[in-house]
Each structure stands twice: as C-alpha cells, then as structure tokens.
Amino acid sequence: MLDINKIRKDFPILNRTVNGKPLVYFDNAATSQTPQQVIDVIVDYYSNYNANIHRGVHTLSQEATDKYEDARHIIQQHFNAEKAHEIIFTSGTTHSINLVANGFASLIKKGDELIVSALEHHSNIVPWQMLCEKTGATLKVIPMTLEGELDMEAYANLLSNKTKLVFVNHISNALGTINPIKTIIDQAHKFGAAVLIDGAQACPHIKPDVQALNVDFYVTSAHKICGPTGVGMLYGKEEWLTKMQPYQGGGEMIDQVTFEKTTYAGLPHKFEAGTPNICGGIAFGAALNYMNAIGFDKIAGYEHELLEYGTKKLKEIEGLKIYGTSKNKTSVISFNLEGIHPYDVGTLLDKMGIAVRTGHHCAQPIMDFYKIPGTIRASFAFYNSKTEIDALVAGVKKAKMMLS
C-alpha cells in the first residue's frame, strides 16, 4: 500500500490554493507535478556545479558531466536498454519522434508504407506526414473501435512487405487505452518493419522493458514522470541509430570538422548537437529514482483503484458519458455531459480549484471519430486521493446544475 499522506508531503504545489480553494490537480496526463526530491536536485545543480559538459577540463565541468552521464545510466537501467549509448537525451517526446522521422528520411523511398494508429497524439502524426511528403511514402492508419481500442485485425491486414515503420502510442493520451504493443511490435517485425512506441503517457504508470518488448524505438518525456519540462529521451536500437542520419548539426555531435568534410561523433553524441538541458537530464534521472523508490507496481495498483473509484462515481451522474471504455486502460477519464460543451465545464471546475484538461487533447482524429468538439479529461496520479475525486464529482454536479 502507498502511504498517500506521506507522498503528498513530497509535492509542495499540492498545498496551494486556486481561486480560494485547495488545488485538486487532475491534469497529470498533460504534466505531472514535481516532488521536493527532484526540486532539490535542480537547486543543487545551479547552486553547486553548473557547467558545460563533455569538453571542460575543470572540476565543475567534470562533475556536471559525471552527473549527466549517471542520469543516462539511470535511464538505461530503468528502461533496461542493453547499452547506455542507445539512450539519446532529447527535449521531449516530440523532439524524439522528429529525430527518428528525420533520421529515416534517407532510409525511406517512394512506394514505402508507414503505419500510424487512429489513437495518436498530433506529435506522433505530423512528423511522419512530413516524412511522407519528403519521400513519397504512404501513411496508413490502424482504425479504432467505439471502446477506444485499436482494431488489431485491421492492423494485421495493413502490414505488408512495403511496411517500413509502425508508430503507435503505448497508452492513448486522450482516452487512456493501453495498446497491445508487444503484439504490434512482433507482427511488424515479421515484415521487417521498425516500430516506434510513444511512451509519453505510459511511463508515469508502467516501467517498460525495451529488450523484452524488442522495440526499435521508445520515446518519452521527463515532465510526465515527475521530472522537469524540456527534457526527454529516445531509446533506439544501436543498429538503427547507426543507420540513421543525424537530425541536427552543431557542436558535440562531430568527430572532425573541416570545410571540406565533417565526420560525425559516435553514439549517443551524434544525435546530441549543442549544449543539452544538463540540469534537466540530471533531474530526469532523479525523478526516475524517486518513482522507482515508491515502486511502479504500487503506483499502478493505487492508480487503478483511483480509476475504478472515479469511474464509478462519475458514472452516477446522469447524462455523463465516458469516452474510452477499454478494460485495459490507465487512470484517465475522458468524459462529457450531455448537451454541454467541455469548455464550459472546465471553466467552472477551475473556479472551484479543480484542474482538468478540456478540448481535443491534440488528438483531433479521435474527437472526429466520436463526432465531438472535445472532452473533459481528468487524469489521476499516485499522489491524488479519493477525497479529491469526491471534489471533482461534486464539482461536475455543480457545473451541470449551473449549465443546464
């Protein structure tokens, strides 16, 4: 069991009020809050050893480099990557996906097919559309069902020898559906296609094992996992990373530069041009340490309890419809009140100190599928409580009364 009162004390922001009410933070799928343990690491970095890394011979630079590379090892171990240089620091999931999409430009040709799913965030759609425009490849879409699950039969039919890449999220940000990624990966591999899994929504709840999954690329952001914004990672199998072209040119990513020819540095530096978010990377490692100390099994178990409790309580409200009803989902409840615009409900909930997300959640194709302008999304984290869910339910009831 999680000691929820003790955990809540780790998050200073949970003590604040919004519009005169205690903050109820249910926008965790957009960004998670930061525990004191991670804040301390950020303060320590800027207070004691802020320096540019990898080049300096002075002590501060060495300390910062060591901590930054330690963080890479923490991430490697967390995701069970075989090699540390298979972990590339990026500015976040979107950057990671763009890096792969650009790196593949020279490996994709006209007539090739790429497969995306109907459940994706725009950031796992648009970079690939750009790649298709550049190369003349075609984008195919795995359709979704009413429950918000992927149609796996349709997926099997989309795969062929023309398929070069498949990119699917581990968990849908708009609906919370956990996708059967192991099956998706295995089936794609039968046709020699590489698979990228967008783990932005999964990593707060699940500890993925990239070797067990045998995934080619796994990407995520630190700020969804109690870390800071502006930093994330790309896991890529060494064989793919070696084949891919570098995404950005600049310092750190070179071996030798002359005006005639530049040779690139080895992995991971080939993909890490410029001064990185050093403090962010170190704090990313600290955030994973924090989460692992609590334990992902415990986190997932408790969040499932919150999901069941919230679903049951919200369903009792007449006219409330939940989108994404897969049995296999994480602690995200996307819903609407009949005849009421999600923006109105979100605005009133904010007045009551309750932070939810409203709108299309950067997943317009899903909203088009349900023929709705958007949803209200409450996403729970391990530091949320049932009392907070009660406040949400009371808030939704009140909003409904005011808007009906």
Partner 1 sequence: MQTIKEIQDEIVDEFSMFEDWEERYQYMIDLGKTLPLIAPEYKTEDNIIKGCQSKVWVHAEMEDNKIAFTADSDAIITKGIIAILIRAFSNQHPKDILEANTDFIDQIGLKEHLSPTRANGLVSMIKQIKMYAIAYQTQLQ
Point out the residues that are catalytic. 362
Half-sphere exposure of 154 (CA within 13 A, CB side): 13
Respond yes or no on whether the N-terminal peptide bond of residue 228 is cis (omega within 30° of 0): no
Determine the interface stretch with partner 1 among 86-94, 131-139, 150-158, 346-354 (rule: CB under 8 A).
Answer: 346-354
Determine the interface stretch with partner 1 among 85-93, 199-207, 242-250, 336-344 (rule: CB under 8 A).
Answer: 336-344
Strand runs labelled E in 62-150: 87-90, 113-117, 138-142
- The interface with partner 1 within residues 9-68 (CB under 8 A) comprises 19
The CB-of-352 to partner 1 minimum distance in angstroms stands at 9
- For 13, the token pair is 């922001």
Determine which residue in the list 304, 360, 386, 397 makes contact with partner 1, applying CB under 8 A: 360
Determine which residue in the list 271, 374, 379, 382 makes contact with partner 1, applying CB under 8 A: 374
Own/partner long-range contacts of 382-387 (Cβ < 8 Å, ≥24 apart) = 382/2, 382/7, 382/294, 382/298, 382/299, 382/302, 382/303, 383/4, 383/7, 383/8, 383/10, 383/11, 383/14, 383/33, 384/25, 384/26, 384/28, 384/306, 385/4, 385/8, 386/306, 386/309
268 neighbors 295 (Cβ within 8 angstroms): no
Determine which residue in the list 9, 207, 321, 351 makes contact with partner 1, applying CB under 8 A: 351
Going from the C-alpha of 41 to that of each of 46, 54, 223, 283, 284, the distances in angstroms are: 9, 20, 15, 6, 10
DSSP 156-176: HHH--TTEEEEEEESB-TTT-
Determine which residue in the list 69, 373, 390, 397 makes contact with partner 1, applying CB under 8 A: 373
Closer residue to partner 1 in complex, CB, 19/211: 19
The CB-of-343 to partner 1 minimum distance in angstroms stands at 4
- For 382, the token pair is 């391990």
- How many residues belong to the site for partner 1 (CB under 8 A)? 17
Interface with partner 1, residue 358, by CB under 8 A: yes
Determine the interface stretch with partner 1 among 4-12, 42-50, 319-327, 356-364 (rule: CB under 8 A).
Answer: 356-364
Residue matched to tokens 């296999």: 328
Closer residue to partner 1 in complex, CB, 8/341: 341
The CB-of-125 to partner 1 minimum distance in angstroms stands at 16
342 neighbors 359 (Cβ within 8 angstroms): yes
Determine which residue in the list 36, 138, 347, 387 makes contact with partner 1, applying CB under 8 A: 347
The CB-of-351 to partner 1 minimum distance in angstroms stands at 5
Determine which residue in the list 207, 243, 321, 341 makes contact with partner 1, applying CB under 8 A: 341
- The interface with partner 1 within residues 85-144 (CB under 8 A) comprises none
Q: What is the DSSP letter of 27?
A: B
Alpha-carbon distance of 219 to 284, in angstroms, equals 14
- For 224, the token pair is 């969804």
Closer residue to partner 1 in complex, CB, 16/134: 16
Determine which residue in the list 348, 349, 378, 391 makes contact with partner 1, applying CB under 8 A: 348
Query: Binding residues for partner 1, per CB under 8 A?
Result: 19, 340-344, 346-348, 351, 358-360, 373-374, 402-403
